[in-house]
Amino acid sequence: MNFLGLSGSLRKASLNTALLRETTGLLPEGVAMTVRTLEDLPLLNPDQLESGFPDAVNVLAAAVKQADALVLASPEFNYSVTAVMKNAMDWLSIHPDAPLKAKPVALMSASPSAFGGGRAQYHLREILIYPGARLLGVPEIMVTNAFNAFNEQGALTNQTTRDLIIQQMQALKVMIQA
Ligand X SMILES: Cc1cc2nc3c(=O)[nH]c(=O)nc-3n(C[C@H](O)[C@H](O)[C@H](O)COP(=O)(O)O)c2cc1C
Q: Which residues bind ligand X (CB under 6 A)?
A: 9, 11, 14-16, 75-79, 111-113, 115, 117
Residue nearest to ligand X (CB): 75
User: Closer to ligand X at the Cβ: 95 or 119?
Assistant: 119
User: Closer to ligand X at the Cβ: 11 or 101?
Assistant: 11
| Closest distance of CB 102 from ligand X, Å | 28
Bridge partner residues of 62 (DSSP): none
| Closest distance of CB 71 from ligand X, Å | 14
Distant-in-sequence, close-in-space partners of 65: CB < 8 Å, separation ≥ 6? 97, 99
| Closest distance of CB 87 from ligand X, Å | 15
Checking DSSP bridges between strand 69-73 and strand 80-81, what pairing results, if any? unpaired
User: Closer to ligand X at the Cβ: 36 or 65?
Assistant: 36
| Closest distance of CB 38 from ligand X, Å | 12
CB 112 within 8 A of CB 149: no
| Closest distance of CB 166 from ligand X, Å | 21
User: Closer to ligand X at the Cβ: 111 or 161?
Assistant: 111
Residue 76, exposed/middle/buried by CB under 10 A (0-12, 13-18, 19+)?
A: buried
State the Cα–Cα distance between residues 173 and 178, nearest whole angstrom.
Answer: 9
User: Closer to ligand X at the Cβ: 91 or 150?
Assistant: 150
Reduce the DSSP state of residue 81 to 3 states and report it: strand
Could you tell me which of 26, 60, 24 has the C-alpha nearest to residue 40?
60
